[in-house]
Chains A and B, each alone.
Chain A
Amino acid sequence: EADIYQTPRYLVIGTGKKITLECSQTMGHDKMYWYQQDPGMELHLIHYSYGVNSTEKGDLSSESTVSRIRTEHFPLTLESARPSHTSQYLCASSAPRQGARETQYFGPGTRLLVL
Chain B
Amino acid sequence: GESVGLHLPTLSVQEGDNSIINCAYSNSASDYFIWYKQESGKGPQFIIDIRSNMDKRQGQRVTVLLNKTVKHLSLQIAATQPGDSAVYFCAENEGNTDKLIFGTGTRLQVFP
Contacts and interface: CB of A to CB of B under 8 A. Distances in A.
Contact of B107 (A40, A45, A92): A40
B50 to A, nearest CB: 10
B5 A102 contact: no
Main SS of chain A's interface residues? Answer: strand
Interface residues of B, number: 28
B42 A108 contact: yes
Interface string B57-79: 00000000000000000000000
Contacts of A92: 43
Contacts, number: 70
Interface in B81-105: 87, 89, 93, 98-105
Contacts of B3: 38-40
Contacts of A31: 98
A68 B99 CA distance: 18
Interface string A75-100: 00000000000000010101000001
A42 B103 contact: yes
A102 B91 CA distance: 13
A58 B99 contact: yes
Given A94-B98, A103-B34, A104-B100, A42 B44 contact: no
Interface string B4-24: 111010000000000000000
B100 A45 contact: yes
B32 A101 contact: yes
Contact of A107 (B43, B101, B104): B43
Contact of B93 (A43, A101, A109): A101
Nearest to B45: A106
User: Which of A31, A102, A106 lies at the interface centre, i.e. has the most chain B CB atoms within 10 A of its CB?
Assistant: A106
A40 B8 contact: yes
6 contacts: A39-B5, A40-B105, A43-B102, A48-B98, A102-B98, A108-B41
Interface of A: 1, 4, 6, 31, 38-45, 48, 50, 58-59, 90, 92, 94, 100-109
